[in-house]
């Protein structure tokens, strides 16, 4: 009897786990508002998986895919700030809370989990919105990242003033996996 329960439970868990969604379109923008020069970059190459049955979510963001207006900014971003050869990816893994998959329209949600940037992992709580559209899900969020928190150092010699906090905006569309 006990083993039967186990089997049923684990089967049902596996079944529930099949409710996975993956990225169809992704956009991550970061924006640094500084006195000399505003710096903005866009990344369309991020990947994410969202398991609606458990709320588990994971993001993987290739650092080298951030596109800047100036090539030199991109080079400095990769070489000096994010050290992308050492830390090629940023990741987030955690859980989205406070959503109902039956609800129409945008609903406010919170993602709680671990954000890794520049090799430093921190526990974060990020608020955003989810919206079910037909068989797709649209996720939006905007939050601030303090460079110091992730040991991103701005070289003293640099004339470009980089803001201590950068704004990160995400806009993902998910489709069933």
Interface residues with another protein (CB under 8 A) are 2, 5-6, 9-10, 13, 17, 22, 47-49, 51, 54, 56-60, 62, 64, 67-72, 74-76, 78-80, 83, 85-86, 88, 91, 93-95, 153, 155, 157-160
- Which residue, 22 or 100, is less far from another protein as judged by CB? 22
CA nearest 140: which of 105, 93, 89?
A: 105
Q: CB under 8 Å to 69, separation ≥6 — which residues? A: 40
How many whole angstroms separate alpha carbon 53 and alpha carbon 95? 11
Q: Give the nearest distance from C-beta 145 to another protein in angstroms.
A: 20
CB distance 50 to 20 below 8 Å: yes
Dihedral angle computed from the Cα positions of residues 59, 25, 84 and 119, in that order, rounded to the nearest 10 degrees: -10
- Which residue, 123 or 159, is less far from another protein as judged by CB? 159
Structure tokens at 133: 């559209």
Give the CA distances from residue 170 to residues 6, 74, 76, 127, 132, in Å, rounded to whole numbers and listed in that order: 40, 19, 23, 11, 16
- Which residue, 9 or 103, is less far from another protein as judged by CB? 9
Q: Give the nearest distance from C-beta 75 to another protein in angstroms.
A: 6
Q: Give the nearest distance from C-beta 138 to another protein in angstroms.
A: 19
Q: Give the nearest distance from C-beta 104 to another protein in angstroms.
A: 26
- Which residue, 104 or 148, is less far from another protein as judged by CB? 148
- Which residue, 92 or 132, is less far from another protein as judged by CB? 92
How many whole angstroms separate alpha carbon 107 and alpha carbon 100? 8
Q: Give the nearest distance from C-beta 69 to another protein in angstroms.
A: 6
């Amino acid at each position: 009897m006990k083993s039967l329960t186990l089997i049923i439970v684990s089967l049902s868990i596996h079944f529930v786990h099949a409710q996975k969604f993956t990225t169809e379109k992704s956009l991550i923008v970061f924006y640094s508002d500084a006195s000399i020069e505003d710096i903005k970059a866009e990344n369309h190459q991020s990947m994410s998986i969202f398991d609606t049955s458990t709320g588990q979510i994971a993001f993987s963001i290739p650092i080298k895919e951030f596109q800047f207006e100036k090539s030199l900014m991109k080079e400095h971003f990769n070489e000096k700030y994010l050290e992308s050869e050492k830390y090629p990816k940023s990741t987030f893994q955690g859980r989205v809370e406070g959503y109902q998959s039956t609800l129409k329209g945008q609903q406010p949600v919170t993602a709680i989990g671990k954000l890794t940037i520049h090799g430093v992992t921190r526990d974060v709580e990020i608020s955003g919105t989810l919206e079910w559209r037909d068989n797709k899900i649209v996720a939006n969020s905007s939050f601030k990242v303090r460079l110091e928190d992730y040991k991103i150092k701005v070289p003293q010699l640099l004339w470009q003033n980089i803001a201590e906090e950068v704004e990160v905006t995400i806009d993902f569309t998910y489709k069933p996996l």
